[in-house]
Amino acid sequence: MKDNQIGRNIGFVGTRFAGTDGVSLEASKWAQILWDHRHVSYWYGGKLDTNPDISMLVPHAYFGDADIQWINDRVFGKTTRDPEVTRRIHALADHLKRTLYDFTRRFDIEILIVQNALCIPMNIPLGVAITSFIAETGFPTIAHHHDFYWERDRFSVNAIGDLLQMSFPPCMPSVQHVTINSEAQRALSHRRGASSILVPNVLDFENPPNDSDDYTTNFREDIGLEPDDIMFLQPTRVVPRKGIEHSIALISALRNPKVKLIVTHQSGDEGDDYLHALTEMAENNNVDLRFVSERVGDIRGTTPDGEKIYDLADAYAQADFITYPSLYEGFGNALIEAFYFRKPVLVNRYSIFVTDIEPMGFRVTTMNGYLTRDVVSDVARVLEDPVYREDMVNHNYDLGKRFFSYSVLRRKLRALITNFTGMDDL
């Protein structure tokens, strides 16, 4: 560790830093804050859209790699594993550990920030490799945990209990743990006896979104809406835990044919059965439901036919109301985004909202697992009363700036970095 400089070389390590998944987005925000204070970030992962000059692409670090999937297919949903599976896990872990040594030497890395690779076992060899690397080197490491394996039913039956105990996450003197909600913080302490710093997901509330951007002018027309349609935006993937059926039920109960439900993301990796069920439900309830993932992407661009591709911020800018009836969320990025874009929002009171967000005083329409007449009435009032609506969204923006802004992240990162360097580097 260099003591004669303020700027540090920071190595971000994960399975994937690409696209708009929550881990990639939060990692980029951390890197931006660090860069603002002269810390240079470098990237290690199995799937990357970062600058190749500051990146190390290692295919076996990606959880979608065929060899990694082969292992996962043989250890989850089972209670014992074949010796060949064990051999492959350790062989790949040794390979990945060597690449970590190469990465830290090539870019003269001083602090590692491991993004989610030491808490959820999507890539078991990578977790084992990182743990072994830290054990051998004592490398200063910040382990940023977005999802723990014990929070996911699909990992509850497994044949890797020994490896989970060792690496997901590891507890070693040179590792500082970071959790994104208080429930995870308590569980980590209970299960591992490890303390952690709680760092919520954030947005740049100090810089409001640009309201004068002409790019979005034709967004509604391009997705087939009329000028006077009321756009309800569901800014999530189409997976069962997002509770999109509640959004359909809400619009049906409003009995306003001008209200249309727009879903921005694809089905993801859980199949299309849920999508088909939603489509059938919408048809049976006379709800205009539109899936627009082909027109809303990671960045602005054009389709092969020359049509505009919008980003998620464009969709928020054009929305009248946000539906977020999730059954479970590790944090709730879409909710904070609704506050940032000054949009009213319906929230199903998932556990992290109840413990970490609701007590701060945000004004939203809430439901408790099911729609009631009062919920529908409050949404109708939001739509019909502009003064009520403006007071609500401005209040939420002010609270977002206070609790979920970059300044909050800056304070948290200052403490984490200073713990290693002994210097106030941010």
Q: pTM higher than 0.85, yes or no?
A: yes
351, β-bridge pairs:
none
Integer angstrom CA distances of residue 61 from 105, 228, 363, 371: 18, 48, 42, 43
Instruction: Give the pLDDT of residue 404.
Output: 96
In angstroms, rounded to a whole number, what is the distance separating the alpha carbons of residues 180 and 146?
6
Domains and CATH numbers, the chain: 9-202+406-421 (3.40.50.2000), 214-403 (3.40.50.2000)
User: What's residue 27's pLDDT?
Assistant: 95
Q: What is the mean pLDDT of each run of 10 residues along the chain (426 residues)?
A: 68 92 91 92 97 97 97 97 98 98 98 98 98 98 96 94 98 97 96 96 94 85 95 94 97 97 82 92 97 90 91 94 94 94 98 96 97 97 98 98 96 94 74
Helical axes 373-384 vs 244-254, angle rounded to 10°: 70
The whole-number pLDDT of residue 142 equals: 98
CB 38 within 8 A of CB 6: yes
Residues across the chain:
426
Decide: 120 and 91 in contact? Cβ < 8 Å. Answer: no
pLDDT number for residue 288: 97
pLDDT of the residue at 425 = 64
